[in-house]
Structure 1
Amino acid sequence: MDNTKYFYFIYGNHGDFPEQLEDYYFLIKDLLAYSLNKPLLVSKELVSGHCNFIIECFNPSFVSQIETIKNNSPKTNIICIATEFLTQDTFNLFNKENEYSNQTLIFLDSILHQTGIVKLGKKFFSDTSLKDLYKKYIKNKIGSSHYANTGYWKERYNNFIKSLPYFDQVWTVSPSQKEGYLRIIESSNLWTLPIVPYTDLCEEFSSTKNNNFNIDLLFTGTLTPYRIQILEKLKNKKLNVVSGFFPSFLKNAYISQSKICLNLKPNSKWPFTSIMRLHTLLMKGKYVISEKYDDEISIQNKFVNEVTLENIVSVSLDQINNPNLVDIGIEMKSKYIESTKIIREKVKGDFLEFIQSKIT
């Protein structure tokens, strides 16, 4: 009988949208290869008797699955990767004032999604006029109301709390998250997995030498009202701007075709930019313009062009014709990898200690 314990990346709790997990999959895959020389397997469902990495986002049904598998198989390990910020008794509530001006449209859009009407419409209605009306009068005006939906974040937090007793450990991915989670998790059960390159090699992607940069500015991510406003200002300057949440093959193609990649906050009250987005773009050897981290500087922000909301348009215009963007991107990638070597080695040691003590 094979008693080997394998490592699995679980994606079934993210429903029809697992592509949003792609960057975290590669981060953990690289961590395992670098630290243990072990592969990371994938599974839609939790795998009994093995070590499961799962990105936090649970509905009641998945909470029940977690409870059942841990009760039936105590040797099953579950490591929960916490990507959101714990604020008060919910996720991502940085201010009680909602920044969006058109609350009626946001509420309507939320209801349409929660009741499944939008999903049914996409599936059963071929009439493009209905889709065009939704896009014109709701979607294009408010973007994604995902970050504004306080009810969604509260429910997601509650399901996380219900699942918490069954996790072997919770991993945050940013030092800025740690204080919030320490209010509900013992320090011995909480670890921050640094988002850094888990490789000493600086491979040169063919995309960095691509001369067909037909996209001026690229933003990949959820299109919130705040982000849409910034992107529209850039488009009004006659720049070719591409934005959206794309499947990996499109995302990688767009990145390779872009002169500059952007990193934008979800809204004006959000204190942080996405470390994971910066990491991904730096490892692609791209020149990045990023909004500033409010309370501290991240490792990644040292290797990008940091801007404020007030000067993001002017800086983009200044840099768009810079003939050295490709060379700068490659140089920043090399410096990023070299500067994080000590962190990599420490993480490797900490991870090995965790495996020996927790993964049995």
Structure 2
Amino acid sequence: MKNWNRKLMAAAAAACALLMGSQARAQDYPSHSLTLVVPFAAAGISDNQSRLLARKLADILGQPVVVENRPGASGMIGAEAVAHAKPDGYTLLYGTHGTQAANLALFDNVRIDPPKDLRAVHSLFRQSTVLVANAATPYHSLGDLVQAAKQRPGAVNYASAGSGTQTHLAAAKLQSAAGISMTHVPYKGAGPALSDVLAGNVEIMFSYPESVSQHIQAGKLRALAVAGSNRLDAMPTVPTMAEAGYPDAALEGWSGVFVPAGTPDAVVAKLASAIGQITQAPDVVAAMAAISSFPMGLSDQQFQRFVEEEVPRWKAVVRQSGARLE
């Protein structure tokens, strides 16, 4: 019995020492530079948001935040790297609806379970796409497009930045909500897809507002509907999907910061507080609004629950689209 008591006391002492050591590390955090892994190529919305976040985060934490682009497999290479990193708060992930939810349905063999292997720290921004049509088409409203697609199933074609991207899945959501069938023309990137829509080789596509605004103003494209929950300041006259009669067609992408599971609570809390300040800062809000991105305002457990609830929703959208990636 005495031996058992000694073992019990030793185990309790070890646990106490471990807890105190963890608390001490959290109090000292961060003591050196952090790495923010962006699982996409340089340039583009994700990279630009990440670099803005890194600069602001470095100012608050007092340590450099290095952005590391690790593209591949629709973001899963970078996500896996962070999931397997040491859970000490020094390796962060810029995650999205793709890396944390949609990819679980897009790929046959995902080597991590993002909601379990990556802990949500704080949300960043939500972003919707806008449905545009070449100005030479007869589509002046979403109703025109839906009517044409119903009359000629499969005859209307739409471009996307690639199978499984938000620009593809938004179209899949519309087809399901409106009961129509259109032909998908996937491209390797949003740029080539938009170029062919502008050239009239493809009729429509869902694209990001900052990419199409100038072409809408120039009269080369028509904006038919916004795939988000709100109208956009840059396009105040363009209705949302709900306003156009198809509330179930809304689909917004989102982003946030994640760390490896097992990262100490105190470290997560410190990061969450800093990121919350950044996403609500007037200059950041203004910069993001200019590209039609808006802060979500979800921290730690709130954001974790949000991500877990998004997984089945995005899986359903992927199944509707029929998209599969190798």
Q: Classify the TM-score, shorter chain.
A: 0.3 to 0.5
Q: Which has the higher contact order (CA 8 A, sep 6+)?
A: 2
- Bigger share in strand: 2
Alignment TM-score, normalising by the size of structure 2: 0.33
What's the TM-score once normalised by structure 1's chain length? 0.31
Larger-Rg structure: 2
